[in-house]
Amino acid sequence: MSQVHVINHPMIQHKLTIMRKKTTGSKDFRQLLDEIAMLMGYEVTRDLPLKDVEIETPICKTIGKEISGRKLAIVPILRAGIGLMGGLQTLVPVAKVGHIGLYRDETTHNPVVYYCKLPFDIQSRLVIVTDPMLATGGSACDAISMLKEKGCDNIRLMCLVGAPEGIRRVQEAHPDVDIYLASIDECLNENAYIVPGLGDAGDRIFGTK
């Protein structure tokens, strides 16, 4: 079974509380999400392997550490996953980026695919899928399945807020995918929105409502 990592660093929790407030506008919401993404990125990449490399400082030769192993790819689920991309790119500027476009049907709450563009060598990379909201888990599950169909076998899911239902669904469908979150919230409401959550992440990021 995959691991669920709840990253409860005080800086992340403080910023998340501001994001949850309905009075927080798009500009602040976006900036806070960007900051949280970078902070969460430390944990998502905490176990990346290192190798010794010989370097020369102005003083002498020495052995330094360099990240080894697979190169990274960041795959935001459109639209809202874009909000977590910049912070991760600040941390890993050489990561390639793929995009998966999914929206939830308003009645069934099932995801509908409308876009997929991935790096040509995605299957050889460690893939970090980003989406701030893990509600029913349908979108994350479908995005991960699409990546697996392309041959990806090393995938992590980075969200901001998750509902227990969505976390369970991803764990059952993709037991090899670790999930990173800043909060596990209480439940879903009748419209499959996360409670207490923060509302519609895409609308709040892009100011569409």
In the bound complex, what is the minimum distance in angstroms from residue 133's beta carbon to ligand URA? 4
Q: How far apart are CA 10 and CA 60, in angstroms?
A: 40
Nearer of residues 68 and 189 to ligand PRP, judged by Cβ = 189
Q: How far apart are CA 33 and CA 196, in angstroms?
A: 17
Q: How far apart are CA 168 and CA 23, in angstroms?
A: 31
In the bound complex, what is the minimum distance in angstroms from residue 136's beta carbon to ligand PRP? 3
CB atoms closer than 10 angstroms to residue 141: 20
Nearer of residues 86 and 137 to ligand PRP, judged by Cβ = 137
Pairing of strands 61-67, 72-78: unpaired
Angle 26-44/10-20 helices, nearest 10 degrees?
150
Which is catalytic among the residues 104, 156, 169, 204? 104
CA dihedral (97, 100, 106, 107) positive or negative = negative
Using CB distances below 5 to 8 A depending on partner kind, what does residue 72 bind out of ligand URA, ligand PRP, none? none
In the bound complex, what is the minimum distance in angstroms from residue 150's beta carbon to ligand PRP? 19
Binding to ligand URA (CB under 6 A) within 75-104 occurs at 80
Which is catalytic among the residues 90, 108, 168, 176? 108
Examine residue 147 and tell whether it contacts ligand URA (CB under 6 A): no
Q: How far apart are CA 121 and CA 141, in angstroms?
A: 21
Give the DSSP H or E segment for 113: strand 111-117
In the bound complex, what is the minimum distance in angstroms from residue 176's beta carbon to ligand URA? 24
One of 116, 154, 200, 206 touching ligand URA (CB under 6 A): 200
Q: Judge whether 203 counts as a catalytic residue.
A: yes
Q: Judge whether 108 counts as a catalytic residue.
A: yes
Q: Name the residues annotated as catalytic.
A: 104, 108, 200, 203
Binding site for ligand URA (CB under 6 A): 80, 133, 135, 193-194, 197, 200-202
